[in-house]
Chain A
């Protein structure tokens, strides 16, 4: 039973699609994944250098520990890439040298036809999808793209790596050109890979979620047949001789049932997802729902961001309102001071201090000032309210030098931060000029606003929001003049420079900032929402700050909730999709179990009822199919049984006939053997007969010569003598005649004897019994054996050939007795009873072992017996010789007589 004897029908089509076809060797797969890793890593370390402004680029570079590290990795990867490329090229070279190279990646005219056909197919002009060889035109395009890309990238990359070496030979412009080429080609390669390769091996519905060919190294025969039909046909044709082995593996397994309970054994994890509807439905629904959710979340985040913007706007408005309020207070202070100097009696030059004092008192009352005073043009303080130690001369200019500028500008202004002239606390002063009659400034009237008095803080207090919020008035140098938090007064604001510029611009703004300088020791940086509004009347600004966490809490909460709800919603979506998939697939699972059971041959259990939907319909169809299958199975079984019975019968018959044939053959063989022996014996006998004839003739000739010839010669001589004696001698003639007569009688007796020897004419005359008796007496008596002949039954004449045969047999037997038996008595019996004739010759002689004579191979012996048997059998009779040493011998011959005694009278032989 060799495989090759199985006929192979069609060499192009495999009889069975093999489950798996090897597509990539381990080495090819290793190369692929190494290339993938190196390529993506090169992109990840390379493109950030091209798109250096992108946030993700900065992130990548910082994560990898800086641009120098990135470049180092890029170069290490580049060297790896070069080694891989060289290996690939070397592999091809070696394959070419060994003449093993198969140009499967070469573009051929067929590829352009394929591409065109694919286009036609996609557009629906042709209906059969083109099939391809080992690699289709897209794979070839990708391969050559990568190959060309690799050459470009390696060349330009080396140029960029060693620019000074390159420029030893090439023009310098090559370097920036190489740079453009390097980045352009990289981008191109990435886009090709992302758009095409990822589509082909990941996203395409045909392979989603992953084409595992590059992991397992093999694809299904079905897919190979579909996509790489030409290669498939080629392999099939080449393996035509080897294929039956595959067919054999499938064919003898009689039930073509799927193994392992219906699950194909080949299925690494990639296949599981593709093959399991459940996972697929779950994934697709989850992706869909997650996409919607993400889109919703993103759209929801836009209003959140807008609300943050609005919050910031409102902050700015609040800052502006507060600034206006502060403006109002300052302006009021200025007006109070101005009003104080406009009294009718108010004159710095006169000696009467009363009006001035009262004016100051008025100004002090109902104002923000903690102290008011009037100075002369040099800044010497003339009057102070509340009063100071009069002995102390105070020059205002020493405290707020820039305030003296008011003298020139003649406009009220606000001084910077200074200390009180009364010593101690920090103040700011509002200074207004006092004009003389000629309109020139002759002095100043100033009011101090004590910063620790809380008057300014009152203005900003309402603007402090929430727990972390506070409001400040700061001057252009960043000094905090007032704050809703008392402790902050005179601190340096952490944004002094910025505040100065913003005050300069007179622009209200808002935003967030890091409170980074507050605590240099502590590294924690909290983000604040800051609103800023400058004052019109002073180089001050209102600053409202609040921790971002608190200020933007509603929006933040909303955003967090969007995420908090989003994540569970995605989970719910996944759960929901899982449940949907389950509800659909559970009945399918039940059906699959039932179908598996049927496939395994168990048709006894009915397919469960699964409702009235489509799956239920399928289940009913299954059930109907099962019933039909069962019926036909039972019919087949009954046929089988009948067939078996018939086969059993026929087998029995065959066995019987075989046995009979065998025994017949054995018999035949024995017969043949006997025949052969007899044939040989007969041949011998024939020779013997001929020899005996010759012998007999010689004997007759001798007898005739010795006896009859002598006698006739004696007669001739006697007659001659008588003739010569003449007439005278009648007496002697007579005497002589008498002698002659005696000689003639002797001769005649001799002739008689001779004739008797030749044929026992006895038989013809006296019959068989008398003949045998005569022969026995004459033959045996001379040997000293007493013989007796007995006749049983009624003696009758037998056909001549029977009588002759019996006589000859008897003669032989008697002769044997005389020759061999050394017997004293012999009994010859003739039995005419029982419709046949039986002759038996018994003696009481020495006897012999019959077997040693009749079955001996010595042809010299046993001829007598053989001759006797021969004669008997020619007449259809049997001869039996029974003898044993020392027990005498019996020869018994029985000859059937056809027609019985009726033929007695028909003996046509002449009787003598």
Chain B
């Protein structure tokens, strides 16, 4: 979905990058707005009284052929305070139970019941629903994993509340299934900051997307993960707030690993880039500050980190990587001087040779 404006060829790169960023920003704001709009809904006269006679604290359960029992009680308070509470009647979702006695439930298990019922969401939320069809969760479900997340797994059935801006909650929602990942994340520099209600750090969906959560194990996700990290880490304003260099993407892309990834993206994003991307050194969910003793990129651990790919790396080896610094007299004097030497020599040489050629031509012209 890259958007190109080829009449000004040079601008196309910028526009592509900017439109991607704008798109993301727009999505977020849009989501925020509509959420706030919904919150303002009015109270509903209770048309559900009939339902609540049986389903509010009557203690009924439904037993599935699998033997599992499902409580038929609805937390009326929770539902009332949910986003749907003021707007939807029970029957809007549980349409098939309009008649009484209700038709028999014909599913085998509690999970199957949830999977049969959640489809009702799409009648209103078809946009989110269709997006979810592209998600890795749906793929998992399609390939037979009954436990793959469906709408109600994240949003709950009755206590649906808006998650806009609730980054911590979002992370906790994901953590319901992805416990160990969440634990790692919670320990990370991002997760720790999120716990302090810092909204600048990414939570799960900032990297993985919301409904169309794509698989994070594909080659293209790996390749594009550089841009993913860079979307925040190249933001000067944001990074300067925390004293982090916004140059990391540039220095990465200028080096061997980054250039290789760049070529992979140009040529075949679907091929697994066999070189290190951000996460290979810094970790994925457990990213630590580079000066954290537990960080994989702190000096003490760097050799081990390098050895993951460069099996015979010696303690000297990690310093071959300038740690996202531009070579300077302080950081890498040899590199700096070599660079300066060629910066000086090449123009001098070109000028000298050009002068030589010009003189030669002049002489030939004069001799004619």
Contacts and interface: CB of A to CB of B under 8 A. Distances in A.
| A and B are interacting partners | yes
Interface of A: 49, 52-53, 58, 61-62, 66-68, 70, 119, 121-124, 138, 163-165, 167-177, 179-181, 184-185, 187-188, 191-192, 195-196, 199, 204-206, 305, 308-309, 312, 377-378, 397-398, 401-402, 404-405, 407-409, 476-477, 495, 497-498, 500-502, 504-505, 511-514, 516-517
B353 A196 contact: yes
Given A173-B332, A501-B22, 5 more contacts: A67-B267, A169-B316, A180-B335, A404-B87, A498-B19
Contact of A184 (B23, B316, B339): B339
Interface of B: 1, 3-8, 19, 22-23, 25-27, 29-30, 34, 37-38, 40-42, 44-45, 87-88, 92, 124, 127, 253, 255-256, 259-260, 262-264, 266-268, 271, 274, 310, 312-314, 316-322, 327, 332, 334-335, 338-339, 341-342, 345-346, 349-350, 353-354, 356-357, 359-364, 366
A502 B346 CA distance: 47
B316 A168 contact: yes
A192 B357 CA distance: 11
Given A179-B256, A204-B360, A495-B1, A405 B23 contact: no
A352 B73 CA distance: 44
A668 to B, nearest CB: 77
B267 A180 contact: no
Contacts of A68: 274
A122 B363 contact: yes
B54 to A, nearest CB: 23
B259 A52 contact: yes
The 5 A-B pairs with the shortest beta carbon distances in the complex, nearest first, are A184-B342, A172-B319, A501-B26, A175-B320, A67-B263
Nearest to B24: A501
A122 B360 contact: yes
A123 B259 contact: no
A408 B43 CA distance: 11
A66 B346 contact: no
B262 A52 contact: yes
B128 to A, nearest CB: 10
Nearest to B22: A501
8 contacts: A70-B263, A138-B356, A163-B310, A184-B338, A188-B345, A188-B346, A501-B19, A501-B26
A170 B338 contact: no
Given A191-B349, A498-B1, A504 B342 contact: no
Given A167-B317, A168-B316, A500-B30, A408 B259 contact: no
Contacts of B42: 377, 404, 407-408
B320 A188 contact: no
A725 B55 CA distance: 243
A500 B4 contact: no
B364 A187 contact: no
Nearest to B340: A180
Contact of A172 (B6, B8, B27, B317): B317
B321 A172 contact: yes
Contact of A397 (B87, B255, B310, B341): B87
A164 B317 CA distance: 6
A246 B267 CA distance: 63
Contacts of B341: 184
B4 A513 contact: yes
Nearest to B316: A167
B126 to A, nearest CB: 9
Contacts of B45: 378
Given A172-B321, A504-B29, A66 B359 contact: no
A398 B84 CA distance: 11
A66 B273 CA distance: 11
Contact of A401 (B87, B127, B327): B87
B23 A497 contact: yes
Given A52-B259, A184-B341, A184-B346, A504 B30 contact: yes
Contacts of A407: 42
Contact of A61 (B266, B317, B319): B266
Nearest to A407: B42
Contacts of B7: 305, 308-309, 312, 512
Contact of B34 (A66, A308, A402, A511): A402
Nearest to B366: A124
Contacts of B312: 164-165
Contacts of B363: 121-122, 124
Most buried by B among A167, A312, A397: A167
A25 B263 CA distance: 43
A409 B350 CA distance: 70
Given A122-B359, A163-B317, A402-B34, A176 B327 contact: yes
B105 to A, nearest CB: 25
A121 B264 CA distance: 54
B319 A173 contact: yes
A177 B334 contact: yes
B316 A497 contact: no
A500 B313 CA distance: 49
B335 A187 contact: no
A166 to B, nearest CB: 9
A296 B319 CA distance: 54
A196 B6 contact: no
Given A122-B363, A177-B334, A196 B356 contact: yes
B38 A405 contact: yes
Contacts of A305: 7
A175 B323 CA distance: 13
B320 A167 contact: yes
A172 B267 contact: no
Contact of A180 (B88, B313, B338): B338
A177 B268 CA distance: 30
A517 B349 CA distance: 52
B202 to A, nearest CB: 19
A176 B332 contact: yes
A902 to B, nearest CB: 107
**Among the interface residues A195, A477, A501, which one has the most CB atoms of the partner chain B within 10 A?**
A501
